[in-house]
Structure 1
Amino acid sequence: MRLFLEHGFEATTLDDIAAAADVSRRSLFHYFGSKEEIVFSTKADFPALVAEAIGRRPVEEPLLDMVENAFVELAARHISEPARNLARLIQDTPALSAGDQAKYEKVERVLAKALAEQKGRSENDLECRVTATTAIGILKLSTQAWLAEPNTGPDTFGKAAFAALRQVVSQTSGGRE
Structure 2
Amino acid sequence: MRLFLERGFEATTLDDIAAAADVSRRSLFHYFGSKEEIVFSTKADFPALVAEAINRRPVEEPLLDMVENAFVELAQTHLSEASRDLARLIQDTPALSAGDQAKYEKFERVLAKALADRKERPQDDIECRVTAAAAIGILKLSTQAWLAAPETGPDTFGRAAFAALREVAGQAPDVRE
Q: What range describes the TM-score normalised by the shorter chain of this pair?
A: over 0.9
Instruction: State whether residues 50 and 107 of structure 1, in contact with CA within 8 Å, keep that contact through their aligned partners in structure 2.
Output: no
State the match for 2:137 in structure 1: 137
Tell me which stretches of 4 or more aligned residues in structure 1 moved more than 2 Å: none
CA RMSD in angstroms, aligned pairs only: 1.0
Q: CA offset at residue 172 of structure 1?
A: 2.6
Which runs of structure 2 are paired with 1:1-177 in the superposition (5 Å)? 1-172=1-172
Give SS of 1:150's match: coil
- Aligned residues: percent identity? 85
Counterpart of 1:118, as a letter, is: R
C-alpha distance in 2, partners of 1:5/1:172? 48
Counterpart of 1:98, as a letter, is: A
User: TM-score scaled by structure 2?
Assistant: 0.97
Query: Mind listing any 5+ residue stretches in structure 2 that lack a counterpart?
Result: none
Counterpart of 1:101, as a letter, is: Q
Instruction: State whether residues 108 and 132 of structure 1, in contact with CA within 8 Å, keep that contact through their aligned partners in structure 2.
Output: yes
Counterpart of 1:128, as a letter, is: C
C-alpha distance in 2, partners of 1:95/1:11? 13
Give SS of 1:60's match: coil
Query: Mind listing any 5+ residue stretches in structure 1 that lack a counterpart?
Result: none
Counterpart of 1:167, as a letter, is: E
C-alpha distance in 1, partners of 2:150/2:66? 27
C-alpha distance in 2, partners of 1:5/1:14? 14
Deviations 1:97-141 (A, max 9, x none): 000011111110010000001001000000000000000000000
Counterpart of 1:137, as a letter, is: G
Counterpart of 1:127, as a letter, is: E
User: TM-score scaled by structure 1?
Assistant: 0.97
